[in-house]
Chains A and B, each alone.
Chain A
């Protein structure tokens, strides 16, 4: 089964970002090691960090017209900072991987991860 691990990040995390800070290489090393492991077990489908939400754009349908809005959600709610798409045997296994990531207390390392099952492409329940 496929699962998505969503990293929840406050929009303020990107403010004043001028490149890696001290200790960030430990986080990179942890992530690199984890992803290499998940590649070896065949569980890793895709993973990435997302760029600053203020350079993102939202495309929205309003009264049957497409409206383009720059930047993150206006209510200041947490945004997605990165993700993993995994193929795991169980929800418990996906949660275990998420727990490993949040338990690692590194610089710019995720504090909160949401674990969500992904719908089967053949179930006919897409979107």
Chain B
């Protein structure tokens, strides 16, 4: 089963991001270890962090044509900060991985992860 783990970040996090190098390294090490593990178990399809949402462009349909505006979707308070796409045996396994991340990823890791099934 294909699942997506979505990291929700507050838009304000990107503005006030404190980047203590030691803490960043702790989170980075955890992510690397986790992704290596998921690669070895064959569960990792893709994972990445997304760039600052202020560099986003939103494209919407208006009057039958596509109109682009700068920035993330206007009404959003939370934006997608990163994601994992997993091929796991069950939803429970996806939840287990998500729980491991929010619990153990250190000061700069995600506080909140949404787990959603992906249809292929």
Contact = CB atoms under 8 A, between A and B. Distances in A.
Interface of A: 2, 4, 6, 8, 45-46, 48-51, 53, 55-61, 66, 68, 73, 75, 77-78, 80, 83, 85, 91, 95, 98-100, 102-103, 105, 111-119, 121, 124-127
Interface of B: 2, 4, 6-8, 27-28, 31, 45-46, 48-51, 53, 55-61, 64-66, 68, 72-73, 75-78, 80-83, 85, 91, 95, 98-99, 102-103, 105, 108-120
Contacts of A100: 66
27 contacts: A6-B80, A48-B2, A49-B119, A51-B117, A58-B113, A59-B113, A60-B102, A61-B103, A61-B111, A73-B8, A77-B75, A78-B73, A78-B76, A100-B66, A102-B59, A102-B61, A103-B61, A105-B61, A116-B50, A117-B51, A119-B48, A124-B28, A126-B31, A126-B82, A127-B7, A127-B28, A127-B108
A4 B119 contact: no
A103 B103 CA distance: 42
